A = this chain, B = another copy of it.
């Protein structure tokens, strides 16, 4: 039994509060249990210098934790004067994952920046961020689609993410902080709504793992992600149906 009473293959309660921010083109406050992330999408009608003149759009992401999102207060990265390696790694991951489901030429020469700010952290902040970032992105593209005639709808698939791990030889889905710190194997998986892998990042720093264990972890992750995608569809409602159809 898990400390919070969950089955080993159960997600924590997931909630998505849509558009809590009155300025952003799209936003969601997403919660995986006690992990709460505010995701906002900001649209700019230009692309970064290295993308100019290619007729393509750009998607990028930034990630940060409030100093007291965690049990012990962390120093702000702005006060330290630099981003930690962990932050850079996570925001690169979020951006890369989102771009895998966006048709950048269809988006046109504009940039969508997704900010993932962790309000409270209880494990799984990067998977919660990716899952929420997709929703904020979808809201922003939907808003854009009201004023822009896209030749093709730029979002090509749903996208969500979840963590899996091994504790005492048991495969667990969606680890909270306490579980995460005990897990021997720790894996984050990002998949599309049609069941393809976008990112797999697995680490067995404390105990290398076999191919059999890997397969079990990926199976658990897949079912968790499909459940998350179902929740995203429910939250986005009707207009979410355009995702992946290429119908403008």
A198 to B242, CA, bound (A): 40
Give the interface segment out of A47-55, A60-68, A228-236.
Answer: A60-68
With known contacts A89-B88, A120-B22, A200-B200, A205–B96 Cβ distance under 8 A = yes
- Interface flag for A78 (CB, 8 Å): yes
- Interface flag for A76 (CB, 8 Å): yes
Q: Provide the residues of chain B in CB contact with A85, threshold 8 Å.
A: 83, 85, 88-89, 91-92
- A99 pairs with B218, CB closer than 8 A: no
- A115 pairs with B198, CB closer than 8 A: no
Question: Could you say which of B69, B157, B198, B204 contacts A198, with CB atoms under 8 Å apart?
Answer: B204
Residue of A44, A207, A208, A218 with most partner-chain B CB within 10 A:
A208
- B218 pairs with A196, CB closer than 8 A: no
A82 to B191, CA, bound (A): 32
What 10 A-B pairs come out closest when comparing CB atoms?
A: A85-B88, A196-B208, A77-B78, A42-B73, A40-B68, A78-B78, A200-B202, A89-B89, A24-B68, A96-B205
- Interface flag for A192 (CB, 8 Å): yes
Q: Provide the residues of chain B in CB contact with A96, threshold 8 Å.
A: 203, 205
A22 to B210, CA, bound (A): 38
CB-nearest residue of chain B relative to A24?
B68
Number of interface residues, chain A, beta carbon within 8 A: 67
A107 to B10, CA, bound (A): 39
- Interface flag for A214 (CB, 8 Å): yes
This protein's copies in its complex: 6
A84 to B69, CA, bound (A): 23
Interface set, chain A 188-246, CB cutoff 8 A to B: 191-192, 195-211, 214, 218
A114 to B203, CA, bound (A): 20
Q: Provide the residues of chain B in CB contact with A200, threshold 8 Å.
A: 187, 200-202, 214
A117 to B73, CA, bound (A): 14
Q: Provide the residues of chain B in CB contact with A201, threshold 8 Å.
A: 200-202
A244 to B206, CA, bound (A): 15
- B40 pairs with A62, CB closer than 8 A: no
Interface set, chain A 78-121, CB cutoff 8 A to B: 78-89, 91-92, 96-97, 99-100, 113, 115, 117, 119-120
* 16 pairs, CB–CB < 8 Å, chain A vs chain B: A38-B119, A62-B79, A64-B76, A66-B115, A66-B117, A67-B113, A67-B115, A73-B113, A78-B82, A88-B89, A100-B204, A100-B206, A100-B207, A187-B200, A191-B208, A196-B204
